[in-house]
Amino acid sequence: MEPGTEVRTWLAPAKINLALHVIGQRADGYHLIDSLAVFTRFGDRLEIERAEQDDFSVSGRYAAGLPLDGDNLVVKARDALRREAGMQQGSPVAIRLEKNLPIASGVGGGSSNAAAALNTLARLWKLDIDDNSLARIGLSLGADLPMCLKSKPLIARGIGDEVSPLSAFPALGLVLVNPGIAVSTPDVFKALSSRDNEALPPLPKRLDFHTIRNWLETTRNDLEPAARSIEPAIGEALKALKKADAAFARMSGSGATCFGLFETGNVAKRAAIEIRARHPDWFVAATRSMEVSDGEA
């Protein structure tokens, strides 16, 4: 690289489905969802800079087993955006992915990486492209992409493509736990006992830790029973969170990552230390979700 080359670093946060209701199924087989999702300060990281030729590399705890070719969502995102922009604008880039999130773990890692690539490259290449066009490109890569492009507290409906960012939502102390297993999303959807459940109840008017926790008690993750039937270790992860005094614990997405809600970041950190001591081979991370203040969305 030439000295002084601009390097852009972008966080690809974990996506946590605090609640996920499956409310129907389209004729093409896609499931319709109603989900409250937040994004965490912990995640994968992307570094992108201009280069003589395209390059893509992966490092980090969960780098092993990730494809480095056109099967990787980051590479697919780069190529899709370049097709949209035209080769003249989409100059070669070196992309380095630091993979800190477990693979196939229900926290949108691959989708978040691809969204980070789209967001970063649109800026690096100085493209005149609006959010709707980015969301359209994202949706062609996966149903989680439109929400990952926002990376803010939101309600997602449809197949995940109808995104409504919330105008205010507090930061939440979270501990993420994965017992070291990957779960196939298609397998979880296949194992669903009901595909036609009621939608989420309305959010409380006043949003703080206690009202959100109480509201979550009235909601579900409809994928959790199906995922637990495939992989009983998910139950162990939830048990570990409850034993560490989580105020609320649930599986995220299609699993196997589970989250615990804690009143402060410090309490979350202490709980993570406790769980890690009991399960040194598990993925355990204490983090906070990103907040949004009135009028920011």
DSSP 8-class letter at 292 = B
130 assigned to active site? no
Cis previous bond, 256, omega within 30? yes
Of residues 15, 99, 150, 152, which has the active-site annotation? 15
* Helix, strand, coil percentages in the chain from 3-state DSSP, rounded to 5: 30, 30, 40
Q: Name the β-bridge partners of 49.
A: 7, 94
CB atoms closer than 10 angstroms to residue 223: 26
Of residues 34, 44, 144, 161, which has the active-site annotation? 144
245 assigned to active site? no
Q: Which residues contact 140 (CB under 8 A, 6 or more apart)?
A: 80
Q: Name the β-bridge partners of 44.
A: 12
Question: Could you tell me whether strands 173-178 and 162-165 are parallel, antiparallel, or unpaired per DSSP bridges?
Answer: unpaired
Is 179 in contact with 237 (CB distance < 8 Å)? yes
DSSP 8-class letter at 221 = B
Closest alpha carbon to 30 in 192, 162, 222, 189: 189
Q: Which segments of 99-193 are extended strands (E)?
A: 154-158, 162-165, 173-178
CA–CA distance, 132 with 146 (Å, rounded to integer) = 9
Using CB atoms within 10 Å of the CB of residue 98, give its burial: 0 to 12 exposed, 13 to 18 middle, 19+ buried: buried
Closest alpha carbon to 99 in 86, 111, 113: 113
Active site residues: 15, 144
